[in-house]
Structure 1
């Protein structure tokens, strides 16, 4: 248990009870506290941070005050009208216009508030939106949390949720894209090797002295900054305290029953309960109901927080709330692979790099390509689902040659010169001297796979992909290889063995189906009326984009925006207002 809560016995009383400790939940907590509310945060696990702590720490916030400098550099101005059109086009029939307008209005306000009133700091990024073929897409709408010193948490340092170990390099968390490039090049560039060696040396010294890395980046930095702000504002974070049910008196939610280390107790909230428990990526019943049949087989292959078991939705339904599955994508999809004999998120790898690079392709069990390997992860998984429709469970094979895996690694396998024998021995990585031999090992028709690779190799040498237009837009190019010797940065032939394969699944980083809410994040009932005293934020609430994923940080951006909105609204600082004016950003 963290903060002043460990001094209290029996029932607790506050103005606002926040359930969960991810980015949206902690934003709601600090916002309500800054507005004069007494706040308690209840977290079911023994560490705080949720999925946010292990995420990339990026927020998609169009119109944020960091964007103009990047827009000026690129010569690409943005506008509210342009981004609003972009969202509405991608959300399609699932768009809820009033919530989208609220996101656009309060997102930039949330960023300014956190940077002004808390330890949170962001950096602007040049990062293409995910649907870049849309003429209203841009490269200037994403932010990333600035790195931080976790030791500033003091005694709470040990309670911070740590990064997933498989995403670290010998325990080191890679932050910026520049730093990532240095690590990829370290095996073949003396300059990059020296830069990496210096960072690793400092990391090892700090780990030896403090028992863990002081430097936190991305999602870890964001949570550390938010948590330190909570502690300084006397907001207790009660760990090992799962909320079991909501307390409702008449037609008003008045708190929750929380099962703490010493047993159940009531936490009475005079003004509101804010649900931020992270959605349902580990609620198999809900996943089975919401996901396409071939995207669910009872085994989560997710890098989301294992504590996210749908608690918020169940509690909301218990007091009249409604779970909304009317979205284009129920999951915030991510192609993943699983290392044998490692259970839970620690065994899962999110394929964010390899499949987008030259020298890699993806095929179905029939040995055929089925889509653009360089598109955003949120678009790639629906391609797997569509290509395997009718199969009991959908998957694909990621295939690469020696040159590609040496340069970029493959899944959990690191680039050369790091060893890969153990991955081959475990069956995670399949190796063969020829494409035909690889096909036999992965139970794919050798003739079909050889034909697919030969066809793709011809495209790669020409620099075009007439089948799936890989490398045809700015998002693809951004994710490609500037050093590629072939015409297209995303396309490279698979020419020299040995060849490798890894099985990839339809995994997720979170969920988009969720509790129905209004534009102020208030939970609404079947009639569309707000349930008094109850809000939902983060992945507990249904996606504001209707299941679309417009850009990098399109889960955290809305999650924290509506956390801010909920915190301000419950304190009476936001009243019903007109939509934002259409103006230049």
Structure 2
């Protein structure tokens, strides 16, 4: 079977859907293919944070920022580890893309007035305005297509189907102690119950990355963009003029040939679930430790490499995060990313295989995951005491768990519980003398409020996600109240950063840095414009959307 279109987009994450929407609005006949049966890719599983400096939302909030400051920050963090032309186009077209999408589609964001960049001591770092969150979305607007939207990670749901964001969690924890918490919880639970009574497989109130994926999907449906699911790219072909214009795809056991006159955009989400590629590009040892779409196995990258594309090699080839694993009831493995709910909080620390701390636990998830590779913490441990467990939870264990809940996690070997430090040392297989010394040093610093070894809670990003109700340093409290708890953590990721090398217009380059005509890459199929660094929240979605926009505009001859 053969199809002919102007632009073929491969992959239905944020980058792919943005490219398809912008191309359609630019007058092109567009086809988007998706490997799985669901739309949304890793975007639908993500927190949805999107980093775009100088966006109009931040300006409207009164945040003071300048192009010079944003350039200085990225130049300071990235240096020569990635071409400056890429980040220059990101800063130029990111705000334009955001305005375009908000004016012409269902995609809507809210700015964060206060949200420090991840490396706040670097020159040019911002304290707010650069990060955005997708607005809550009513999934009922998708009609029968709601069930085609990829579900979020089940570990991020409550009541087996209700989505919550950080604000919801804060209010739900206050449901028994405050009026605002009670009424918010009642409203959410009532909406969820009605959704289930109406036959929806889960709640239709969408937040985080699922809201962004839903908004993009609704925009595609409104524009009548053709979407073909369960169709995986296999290879590409050039025409007699040397331009890539044909994609060969597998669709339910049949070969589908797609001829794209204006270009092909690869946006299949990188290679986080391809073990062979992980072993080739990530530090050893590695495993399938990714909190991403399981269908992201490097298909787009492999197709591009088959056309002679160059592959990037960054300071870090993954966007790392500590990951804990738990078997689900259906036999699959949950890879839970320790992003924001536990590490930053008082009374919670991370240990390497020797029982020593090795990192400022309140640094970004990427920095903590990278430190695991560098510090004999593969695997490592995240531990807390009874007080921290009650107030904050740990990993998949939610705050103030009852004994039945704790027992379930312990029986599944996800959680370790010990009545003494010696017992904890035995269970996590470290020397008791080393663990006791680690905790003695940490506890002394926690009392004074200054972590002399790693500086936990010493900068505005650390304290942003600490506990503002905790007296003194919002990230520090002694670990000294039995029982003690531990969860094993691996240096996993929320995506891969190594991808196809492109120019500033998303055009894929060969080993001689020459453009491969007709071929574009965006999202995690494109080598990261950050060179493997992680300067802020949403530095995958922000560039993914922006370079999807750039690729579509360029293919349509609109740049």
Q: TM-score, normalised by structure 1?
A: 0.92
1:532 aligns with 2:517: yes
- Corresponding residue of 1:520: 505
1:50 aligns with 2:50: no
- Corresponding residue of 2:207: 217
Partners of 2:205 and 2:539 in 1: how far apart?
25
* RMSD, aligned CA: 1.6
Structure 1 pair 336–345 and aligned structure 2 pair: CA distance change class (3 A): farther
Task: Write the deviation string for residues 529-584 of structure 1: whole angstroms up to 9, x where unpaired.
Answer: 1111100000000000111111111000000000000000000000xxxxxxxxxx
Q: CA deviation at 1:357?
A: 0.4
Structure 1 pair 443–398 and aligned structure 2 pair: CA distance change class (3 A): same
Task: Write the deviation string for residues 15-34 of structure 1: whole angstroms up to 9, x where unpaired.
Answer: 00000000000000000110
Partners of 1:190 and 1:122 in 2: how far apart?
28
- Corresponding residue of 1:6: none
Partners of 2:412 and 2:165 in 1: how far apart?
32
Task: Write the mapping of 1:128-167 to structure 2, written as runs, cut at 5 A.
Answer: 128-138=116-126, 139-167=128-156
Q: CA deviation at 1:255?
A: 2.2
Structure 1 pair 140–196 and aligned structure 2 pair: CA distance change class (3 A): same
- Corresponding residue of 2:361: 373
- Corresponding residue of 1:314: 302
User: Structure 2: any 5+ residue segments left out of the alignment?
Assistant: none
Q: CA deviation at 1:190?
A: 6.6
Q: CA deviation at 1:285?
A: 1.4
1:493 to 465, 478, 487: 478
Contact 1:124-1:143 at 8 Å conserved across structures: yes
1:329 aligns with 2:316: yes
Q: CA deviation at 1:345?
A: 7.2
1:264 aligns with 2:255: yes
Q: CA deviation at 1:346?
A: 5.1
- Corresponding residue of 1:101: 88
Q: Counterpart of 2:80 in 1: which secondary structure?
A: helix
Contact 1:18-1:28 at 8 Å conserved across structures: yes
- Corresponding residue of 2:432: 446
User: Structure 1: any 5+ residue segments left out of the alignment?
Assistant: 1-9, 575-585
Q: CA deviation at 1:178?
A: 2.1
Partners of 1:179 and 1:52 in 2: how far apart?
20
- Corresponding residue of 1:208: 197
Q: CA deviation at 1:189?
A: 5.3
Q: CA deviation at 1:195?
A: 2.8
Structure 1 pair 234–158 and aligned structure 2 pair: CA distance change class (3 A): same
Contact 1:360-1:401 at 8 Å conserved across structures: yes
Partners of 1:105 and 1:136 in 2: how far apart?
17
2:396 to 382, 404, 412: 412
1:25 aligns with 2:16: yes
1:228 aligns with 2:218: yes
Partners of 1:557 and 1:160 in 2: how far apart?
21
Structure 1 pair 515–342 and aligned structure 2 pair: CA distance change class (3 A): farther
- Corresponding residue of 1:7: none
2:283 to 289, 292, 314: 292
Partners of 1:66 and 1:203 in 2: how far apart?
30
Partners of 1:570 and 1:19 in 2: how far apart?
15
Contact 1:187-1:417 at 8 Å conserved across structures: no
Contact 2:321-2:370 at 8 Å conserved across structures: no
Partners of 2:214 and 2:503 in 1: how far apart?
29
Contact 2:156-2:164 at 8 Å conserved across structures: no
Structure 1 pair 63–110 and aligned structure 2 pair: CA distance change class (3 A): same
Q: CA deviation at 1:180?
A: 2.2
Structure 1 pair 187–224 and aligned structure 2 pair: CA distance change class (3 A): same
